[in-house]
């Protein structure tokens, strides 16, 4: 860890390690690499979509520095994430049909189905409003996903997440729901709606297409699959009121298939995946633990789950579609816990690197993006190499008190002055805090139990066949159209990719 800097700013010269010739050489090398980058326009046999939930541009930047400093680089800012190495980068506009700032539900609809929807709804058209059960069940109001398009083309499919597998982001692959919170039947009943008429998310995953045909399902959320009269292997009571054990049902549906259910990391790593065609892994009652707690809870890393999925899916000669979500980036941001948000981003990036290393650029399109941004800022005048988690300096602050480089606009990190002075509007002095601690909550300006999302664009990184289609600024709903075009699995009647793709056979 880098030494804690003094509050008095010291201007230093970096010519010893980064002179003008160094920057000129790096610029020339970068240009040469871009010029030599091949533009691939052959059919994508495989599609991998990575979504870093809540991974704002500031999250990418801060995580890059965080990684560089913890790897012992001279300063840290010169660090690099694996997603940074992707040759094509664009931007995604994330707003909902009805909300200016997106939630993970409407954004999931956009990047899976190719149409924007209303906030809190998933896999349904804008004609379906929040908790409109009747419209949800109308097939005319349901939007099909790229996962279904892949299945219709004979491809294997998988969903991997560190949240519950019935959470807002992954459920856009297979569900049509008017309330993202309807992960089980009791949640529907609590809304005053008959769960016998309105199918919950877990039921749709187990009983309906395309959920029924998904080969690999890995993540958390075990309690949404079990009756409330039982407990799971960790002693947590189930959440279902209909008495259904959906885990047993899932296995029973595939009695003549090579299907396996695993509960923990040890079971996953011990399974001979060469003998498995269908894999269900529910590793936690709710979401999988943060990266620093996964080993003690027997939870797999995102990279380990991704590796398992790839081993199974890659056997299909027709190719595969795989969705991988780093879901707890968002949850750490909601808690104003910058350390864990960045640690989760690094684990997400490790999964991206693993997938890139185990596939070929010639036949696999990898797209990395985020569902929405977060109110997470990088500010101040810190010196190069200042620990990204530390104080930014206070010599120019009118009250003489420090602030951290990383902060939030709102959330539970809010700390008023003690006592508060309405005349001076003074703030709490945090100079005795330890912002480098993993549990530290960065200061926010407005008190809230959970930080809100932000509405600015998020990045899209792409590599592989037709990756150049992901440059520019696009609506989020553009993403599945471009991916489907690359693989020639577009569901539209006039499938223009078949005549445009140079090697589509």
Q: Using CA atoms, how far apart are residues 333 and 128, in angstroms rounded to an integer?
A: 29
Catalytic residue among 58, 104, 156, 444: 104
Torsion angle in degrees (nearest 10) through CA of 125, 126, 129, 133: -20
Exposure string (b/e) for 162-187, b if CB count within 10 Å is 16 or more? bbbbbbbbbbbbbbbbbbbbbbbbbb
Closest CA to 350 of 83, 8, 74: 83
Residue pair 367/49 in contact (Cβ under 8 Å)? The answer is yes
Closest CA to 182 of 120, 92, 237: 120
Question: Under 8 Å CB-to-CB from 191, ≥6 apart: which residues?
Answer: 131, 179, 182
How many residues would you count in the chain?
505
DSSP at 167: S
Is 274 one of the annotated binding-site residues? no
Is 371 one of the annotated binding-site residues? yes
Residue pair 210/174 in contact (Cβ under 8 Å)? The answer is yes
Active site residue 135: no
Is 176 one of the annotated binding-site residues? no
Q: Using CA atoms, how far apart are residues 219 and 215, in angstroms rounded to an integer?
A: 14
Is 334 one of the annotated binding-site residues? yes
Is 167 one of the annotated binding-site residues? yes
Q: Using CA atoms, how far apart are residues 55 and 373, in angstroms rounded to an integer?
A: 6
Is 468 one of the annotated binding-site residues? no
Is 169 one of the annotated binding-site residues? yes
Is 82 one of the annotated binding-site residues? no
**DSSP E strands, 66-198:** 88-93, 156-164
Q: Which residues are annotated as a binding site for Mg(2+)?
A: 53, 167, 169, 325
Q: Which residues are annotated as a binding site for Zn(2+)?
A: 53, 330, 334, 371-372, 453
Q: Which residues are annotated as a binding site?
A: 53, 167, 169, 325, 330, 334, 371-372, 453
Q: Which residues are catalytic?
A: 104
């Amino acid at each position: 860890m880098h030494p804690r800097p003094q509050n008095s700013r010291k201007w230093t010269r970096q010519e010893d390690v980064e002179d003008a010739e160094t920057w000129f050489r790096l610029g020339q090398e970068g240009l040469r690499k871009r010029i030599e980058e091949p533009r691939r326009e052959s059919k994508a046999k495989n599609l991998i979509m990575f979504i870093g939930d809540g991974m704002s541009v500031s999250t990418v930047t801060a995580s890059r520095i965080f990684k560089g400093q913890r790897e012992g680089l001279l300063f840290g800012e010169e660090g690099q994430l694996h997603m940074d190495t992707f040759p094509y980068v664009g931007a995604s506009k994330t707003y909902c049909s009805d909300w200016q700032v997106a939630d993970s539900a409407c954004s999931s609809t956009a990047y899976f189905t190719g149409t924007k929807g209303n906030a809190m709804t998933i896999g349904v058209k804008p004609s379906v409003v929040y908790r409109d059960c009747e419209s949800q069940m109308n097939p005319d109001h349901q939007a099909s996903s790229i996962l279904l398009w892949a299945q219709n083309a004979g491809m294997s499919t998988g969903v991997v997440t560190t949240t519950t597998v019935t959470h807002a982001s992954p459920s856009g692959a297979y569900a049509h729901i008017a309330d993202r919170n309807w992960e089980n039947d009791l949640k529907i009943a609590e809304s005053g709606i008959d769960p016998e008429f309105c199918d919950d998310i877990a039921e749709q995953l187990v009983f309906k297409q395309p959920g029924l045909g998904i080969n690999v399902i890995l993540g958390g959320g075990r309690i949404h699959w079990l009756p409330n009269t039982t407990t799971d292997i960790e002693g947590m009571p189930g959440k279902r009121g209909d008495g259904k054990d959906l885990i047993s049902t899932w296995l029973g549906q595939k009695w003549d298939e090579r299907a396996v259910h695993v509960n923990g990391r040890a079971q996953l790593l011990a399974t001979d995946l060469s003998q498995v065609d269908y894999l269900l892994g529910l590793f936690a009652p709710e979401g999988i633990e943060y990266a620093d707690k996964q080993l003690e809870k027997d939870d797999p890393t995102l990279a380990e789950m991704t590796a398992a999925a790839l081993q199974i899916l890659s056997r299909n000669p027709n190719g595969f579609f795989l969705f991988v979500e780093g879901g707890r980036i968002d949850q750490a941001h909601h808690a104003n816990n910058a350390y864990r948000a960045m640690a989760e981003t690094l684990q997400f990036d490790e999964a991206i690197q693993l997938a890139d290393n185990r596939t070929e650029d010639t036949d696999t399109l990898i797209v990395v993006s985020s569902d929405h941004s977060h109110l997470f800022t990088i500010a101040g005048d810190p010196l190069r190499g200042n620990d990204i988690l530390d104080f930014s300096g206070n010599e120019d602050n009118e009250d003489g008190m420090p602030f951290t480089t990383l902060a939030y606009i709102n959330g539970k990190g809010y700390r008023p002055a003690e006592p508060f002075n309405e005349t001076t509007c003074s703030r709490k002095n945090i100079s005795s805090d330890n912002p480098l601690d993993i549990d530290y909550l960065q200061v926010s300006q407005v008190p809230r139990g959970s930080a809100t999302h932000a509405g600015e664009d998020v990045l899209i990184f792409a590599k592989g066949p037709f990756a150049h289609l992901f440059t520019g600024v696009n609506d989020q709903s553009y993403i599945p159209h471009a991916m489907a075009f690359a693989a020639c699995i577009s569901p539209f009647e006039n499938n223009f990719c078949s005549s445009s793709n140079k090697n589509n056979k």
